[in-house]
Structure 1
């Protein structure tokens, strides 16, 4: 690996991050790789690019640049912002590159399923979604959300209500009726009514600490991942 990289003028004996990039199939992955090299030059980064599956992969060395900056630079080079970038955590040794790659894939997966599927995300930005990975990890996150919020999501879909959002604001506010009412611009009594309806629909006791924690985690994950596949 070191010899091959050296032959391409890239020194692996220094800190790196792995980035994975995906643009629409109408743009060749090789073209994305070329755009990454030009973008990296503008950002002051040394880069080694390749292709894996449906993504372009880049080993980045140099100053710490976030996923959003790389995304914008590559978008400028390609002339389209209809893509996504995931950037893994830093690795001091080349033996850690596979871990950074896995982190980058996870960041890309979360980005592409988020409210804003086009953009760049670094692994450090994922929060709770760090636990989610492609494949089994992604499916487990979906199952967790369905387990805790499924009846509420189904109820909202059937009746065009906003109970899931009400629950999310309520939990984010630490259980404050007033803060929830202010955030949703509704009356405090409406918050009280909606929370009672939430209890009836889900069967959950919102006063139970463990239940509130699980609902809060599920709400956070759902907020990121509720974009349809």
Structure 2
């Protein structure tokens, strides 16, 4: 039954009008904040994927972008990339905007994979993929992949067809913008691995890739493993012997610290800039790019093969 507000006393109708104005302002502010967060996700994605921006400038630009959008943030926030894609019957992709909304809703549930608020998620669309930048609360170690899968499987149960599937890749949490490109690469590699999963909803992270990759090493003949290790590590060993450097130990620490600049620098008691010079020298000597997950897996396998 609807009330006839025309019969209300004037003070009541004035109060109702003010409440309506406040709700309209609140909704407008909410929508503006969401648009700003999506703009943050889009700009950070463009920066990380850009081939025209020098790598050393990316951390500076990412940090200033986050400060401009997230009020009260004085430093680059600890964050985690989530990338999702889906396939429907006949090979048609699941609409990326729908995936973006579903992931946002799954992450902010009280019983979700980690307690984050809606304002902690910056989401965008990249082609047929949804890309989320999740600002991680302290001291949470990162998203709980099993909980994320369960939440999405429940949410999608009545939405997916019998042959439809959704795949999600999650990168490692990063506390330094210099690691953003690596983290996004991890998420995308994990997504590719998830696309081979047998379930309707599959979630994979970097640990899944590393464990699977290293489990295959014993299947490779010993001679082939030694040859592989010599090809990848030989230039570094030769350089260390000739110049009394510690490039091989630096590489090993870098991999053990999940390619985190800050953690590796702390372990080796180096300034981050000094570490960057060492990593650049390693890449130059081996003609590789350690920002790529597949490169880091190759070196990890070479170290384990010796």
Q: TM-score, normalised by structure 1?
A: 0.51
CA distance in 1, matches of 2:126, 2:75: 19
Alignment check: 8 A CA contact 1:15 1:91 kept: yes
Alignment check: 8 A CA contact 2:67 2:75 kept: no
Q: Say which of 91, 115, 122 aligns to 1:48.
A: 122
Q: Secondary structure at the match of 1:126?
A: helix
> Given the alignment of the two structures, is residue 38 of structure 1 paired with residue 121 of structure 2, yes or no?
no
CA distance in 1, matches of 2:152, 2:81: 15
> Given the alignment of the two structures, is residue 66 of structure 1 paired with residue 149 of structure 2, yes or no?
no
Q: Say which of 50, 57, 61 aligns to 2:131.
A: 57
> Given the alignment of the two structures, is residue 13 of structure 1 paired with residue 76 of structure 2, yes or no?
yes
Alignment check: 8 A CA contact 1:47 1:58 kept: yes
For structure 2, the residue ranges without an aligned partner over 5 or more in a row are: 1-64, 228-306
CA distance in 2, matches of 1:66, 1:120: 10
Deviations 1:21-49 (A, max 9, x none): 11224532111111111111112123211
Alignment check: 8 A CA contact 2:171 2:205 kept: yes
Rg larger for: 2
Residues 77 and 4 of structure 1: CA distance in aligned 2, closer, same or farther (over 3 Å): farther
Per-residue deviation, 1:73:
2.0
1:165 counterpart residue number: none
Deviations 1:162-202 (A, max 9, x none): xxxxxx9xx67xxxxxxxxxxxxxxxxxxxxxxxxxxxxxx
1:151 counterpart residue number: none
What's the RMSD between the two structures over aligned residues? Answer: 3.4
1:102 counterpart residue number: 185
| Runs of 4+ with deviation above 6 angstroms | 9-12
Alignment check: 8 A CA contact 2:96 2:127 kept: no
For structure 1, the residue ranges without an aligned partner over 5 or more in a row are: 132-167, 173-205, 215-229
1:75 counterpart residue number: 153
Q: Secondary structure at the match of 1:110?
A: helix
Per-residue deviation, 1:4:
5.3
CA distance in 2, matches of 1:92, 1:109: 24
Instruction: Give the 5 Å matches for 1:83-94.
Output: 83-94=166-177
CA distance in 1, matches of 2:180, 2:130: 15
Q: TM-score, normalised by structure 2?
A: 0.39
Residues 39 and 5 of structure 1: CA distance in aligned 2, closer, same or farther (over 3 Å): farther
